[in-house]
Every structure is written in C-alpha cells, then in structure tokens.
Structure 1
C-alpha cells in the first residue's frame, strides 16, 4: 500500500523556486483535513509570507503548538498573523540559507508546517509518560491528561499517557455503507497484523464500531451510530524514543487520511473491474445476436455500394 507523504508538495516546490528566482505570487491551497495555506508576497516580491489555518488551532495552542513553532521557525515566525489564518511565517529571500543542504533542510521543514503543529499533543503525551510513576500494589493506575484534538467536523484524535504507554484514539466517520464495509476490512487487517512474523513490534491496534473505547467513553457528546468507528493505537516506549518519535508522530497523524485514501482507491479498482466485466459480457451478448430474418429465410442481406446503389448479398 502507498504511504502518503507528510510534507506539502506545493510548499516545497514553490519555495524551492521562489528562493532562487523571487517573483510576485498569491497562491491559496488546501491540504488534508481542510487545512488552508496561503503563499504570497503582499509587500514586495523578495518577502514571502506563508500562512496556515487549522480548524483545531485552539486545541493545539492549549497543548503547546506555539512553543513548537517557535522552536522550529523562531526567526521566521511573525508576531502579526495574516487575517483569517492562525500562524504566519515571513521570509526575506536574501536572509535564507544559501543553496545547499541548509536551504533544502529549511524548505523540507517548512513543508512539514502542519505536522509540526499537530505534533504538540503527541510530544506532550510522550513527555508525560516518562514522568508518570507506576501504581503501588493494590492501587489503580492514574492516567495522564486526556487531550482532545477536534481536527475535522465530527471527528477527533484523543491522546492520553499512562505510566507504561501512550494511547491514541481516532474517531472516524464512514458516510457511505460501502465505506463502512471497506473500512472494517482494512481495520481488521491492522488488528491482525501483529500476528504475522516479523512485525510483533508494531503498535497494538484495536477497532470498535459504534461503541467508543473505555479511555473516552465518559466524554459527553460522543456519537454511537453505525457510521462511526473508533481506532485505538497503543504506543509503548520503544515507539517514541528520541530516534523514533518524529517518525511515529508524522506517521500516526496521517492514519485517517491513509485509511480513507485506500478505501477510495479500493472502490475505484472495484468499479474499474466491474466496468471491464460488463464490457466483456456485452461482447458475448453481441456475438450471440441472431441473424437477420432475411438471412434466416434465405433472402440475403441488403447492402449498399459506395455510389449508393443497393444490392442483396447471398
């Protein structure tokens, strides 16, 4: 299966070009989860603005997104945000690194602006897990803060740390009956994957349809209908070591997009196979058509020459 790229291709390609040949631009585009971007040069062509708007920005700020943006893009972060957006970065072309690894690294990090902001609750949970103490014998474990990121309409990500793990729960909507069928098949494969040899170190995955998992069951307003599914990832410390944490965060963020992308690809493949099969049946039916009555009666078939004359063939 195809793994979706975490970086935004438009940001990467446009900045690669404009840092070399500055020119006026005004480009608006949308990424996964209805995240809006705006690349523009409102003042002069050598000053590039990159703005982003996220539906769950207030949730992310509560969990430290601004601190992470400051850490990653401090010198480029603008105190004045473009109207209608949540964060704005400004670049003077003559101040960006020269051509080479430093510039390529900057452009790559800028293409990851959305995943960088969405990493805030995950980093917070990973840090909290390292500080939580295991319960004493006979005592119940006390979990950490339950963080909620409402990144789409009627869908959310829930992240909670415990003393020995970090639990990530996705709620996802299946708007069509066929999507629910395909979704269940895909998600059951995730559940069964750890039984295969060689990938026992993968995170544990649990799937429930309609009924929310215990970690979030107490929250008000959760939908319990047939078109709602809950996917739970159980991350253990080996999944978020200093070396593996960045990859884990960017990969798990794309889970919802990965799932629905492959559902759509599967439906498109099934439709193409159905159309091919119908075309083959149509050929069989065309070959099975009976001869004309005149031929069956021995009268021959009426034909026309190029000049328009009519004759009967035997």
Structure 2
C-alpha cells in the first residue's frame, strides 16, 4: 500500500518543472483533481511567465467562517491575489521572472503551493487550537481540576467537505475533539471499517498509549454533536471520534497533527479498498489453483476395444 501525501504531487511536479533554471516559458492550461472534491487550475492566461494557480474547495464557505481567507493571504503574501479566478475560491500568481534567488527557497515555495488544500482546510483546526489555549489558560487561572471533564460552551465547527460527510471540531479546556462522519456504500466496507477501527483501539491499549483516543459509533452520532441540525441516523453512516489531549497539540506538534488528521478519511477508505482488492486477487488465485487440481483429477477415458471375427482384439482412439 502507498502512503498518501499531504501535498498534491502533480501540482508539485508541474511547478518544479516550471521553476527549473533552464525551463523555457510555455503556455499551460491544466485541471488537477484532488481528494475531498478539491480542484486546482494551473494556467497562464496573461503571459507565459505568469502562472496562475487557483483552488476550488466544496466547503470553502464553511472555511470562511474560521478565517481561511486571512490565513491564506498571510501565508502566501505577495503571491495571493484579491479577486480569485472565476469559478474558484482562492488564486495565486507566480511570476517566473521574479522567483526566489536560491534553489532551496524555490523548493520551499513549491512545497507551500502544493500544500494549498491542506493549508485551507487547516483554518478551523488552528482556530480550535487557539480556543483550547484560551480555555486552558482560563481553567488554570480559576484552578479547575483538569482531570474532570467539563461541558464546553465552545462552538462546534462543522466542515461539510464531502457529499453527506462532515468534520466536526470542538475545543474544551482539556482536549480538542475531532469527529468524522463517513458513509459506507457497501456492507463489506462497513465490516472492514469496524475491523480497522478496532485495531486503532487495540493498538493504543497494547503499545501506543500516547496515541489519541479513538472511538467509533455506528448510526448514532456522538454526544458532542447530537444536538446539531441535519445529522443522519442510518445503518450506512459511522462516526469516528479522535480525542486530542494537550500532549498531542503542543505548539511544535500542531502542524503535523493537522496534516495527519486531515488525511484520515481518505487513508481509511483507501485501506478498505486496497484490502478488498487484495482479497479478491487471492480468491482468484485460489480458484485458478483449484481448477488446475480438478483438471488433473479427470479420469482417463478407457480405450474402446473391438473383437474381430477371428477373435483378435484391437482398440480405437
């Protein structure tokens, strides 16, 4: 199985080719699809030396509630443009004649642009972590017992990033809870999903005790989001809950934590499909082996023998 990357590999490849010292300016007009209904458009509408990179995210209106525009503009600086390309949510323009002087700086810029989707979806997580800092400081000031869970009045951030699927984030003074709703289109997917998620729980009990707590509920949504409107309750939907404690979201770990947890849903369903494909290949292999055995087990047809008038015997084939 492959390891899914946080950045878009095709976008990274295109920019690396364009940023090469010996690269010749050329026209480009390419649409790139990514996970979670995300689309990129890489083009040169004005001139061959100015590359326009645009991003379209299904849940961008949800992300705007948590300051995604301000965060992206602050992160990409002079490359961000105020009015995005028509049909897209955010756009960058890179002038090939005004690139950073060193190759190392160019690589950093390429990696940052390739992480555009990740950085956009990070906005609600970063805001939830900021809320956690404020609530934890207030709790410490009021001498609250951090070992006793307490209901938080913090807003539940809902990101409807896929059709019928969402991410819910809620901050408290002692944890940040992240809940994924996911739809299983087939019964076998639901069975595989339960096996994988049980392994998350067992692995934490056996050896990885510092890992976040993982909970799974089928059909019924968790208590943290049960009061939200529009939640589905059906056999084909499941809710996966990650409980991030302070040790998981220290300031030096937050970027890595956001990257890991964002890709969870895609990685989860990717493993389900890979497991099904592997089982099908093994089944086909076993069927082929059984057919070989059956072919070798066929009884040979006895030769039919005839007797002539003189009593001699001979066989016919």
User: What TM-score do the two structures reach when normalised by structure 1?
Assistant: 0.91
Instruction: Please name the residue that 1:102 is paired with.
Output: 105
CA distance in 2, matches of 1:225, 1:191: 24
1:69 and 2:78 correspond: no
CA distance in 2, matches of 1:56, 1:296: 76
Instruction: Please name the residue that 1:130 is paired with.
Output: 133
CA distance in 1, matches of 2:216, 2:303: 64
Unaligned runs of 5+ in 1: 300-311
1:262 and 2:271 correspond: yes
Determine if contact 2:303/2:316 at 8 Å carries over to the other structure: no
3-state SS of 1:123 partner: helix
What is the CA-CA distance between 1:238 and the residue it aligns to?
1.4
Moved more, 130-139 or 30-39: 130-139
CA deviation map 1:129-186 (0-9, x unaligned): 0111337589954331110000000000000100000000000000011111101111
Instruction: Please name the residue that 1:4 is paired with.
Output: 4
Superposition map of 1:272-311 within 5 A: 272-292=281-301, 295-298=302-305
What is the CA-CA distance between 1:298 and the residue it aligns to?
4.6
Instruction: Please name the residue that 2:115 is paired with.
Output: 112
What is the CA-CA distance between 1:3 and the residue it aligns to?
3.3
3-state SS of 1:275 partner: helix
Which of 181, 195, 219 is the matching residue for 2:205?
A: 195
Instruction: Please name the residue that 2:310 is paired with.
Output: none
Q: How many residues are matched? A: 299
Distance 1:229 1:116, change over 3 A: same
3-state SS of 2:153 partner: coil
3-state SS of 2:3 partner: coil
CA distance in 1, matches of 2:158, 2:303: 76
CA distance in 1, matches of 2:4, 2:182: 18
Determine if contact 1:160/1:166 at 8 Å carries over to the other structure: yes
3-state SS of 2:225 partner: coil
User: What TM-score do the two structures reach when normalised by structure 2?
Assistant: 0.90
What is the CA-CA distance between 1:99 and the residue it aligns to?
4.1
Distance 1:140 1:268, change over 3 A: closer
User: Superposition RMSD on alpha carbons, in Å?
Assistant: 1.8
Superposition map of 1:117-196 within 5 A: 117-132=120-135, 133-134=138-139, 140-196=150-206
Instruction: Please name the residue that 2:16 is paired with.
Output: 16
Extract structure 1 runs of 4+ deviating beyond 4 A.
Answer: 135-140
CA distance in 2, matches of 1:221, 1:82: 32
CA deviation map 1:206-227 (0-9, x unaligned): 0011110000011122111111
Determine if contact 1:191/1:207 at 8 Å carries over to the other structure: no
Superposition map of 1:39-78 within 5 A: 39-78=42-81
Which of 230, 246, 268 is the matching residue for 2:239?
A: 230
CA distance in 1, matches of 2:7, 2:149: 44
CA distance in 1, matches of 2:151, 2:269: 35
Instruction: Please name the residue that 2:311 is paired with.
Output: none
Determine if contact 2:66/2:127 at 8 Å carries over to the other structure: yes
Moved more, 248-257 or 2-11: 2-11
What is the CA-CA distance between 1:2 and the residue it aligns to?
4.5
CA distance in 1, matches of 2:155, 2:254: 19
3-state SS of 1:101 partner: helix
Distance 1:206 1:250, change over 3 A: same
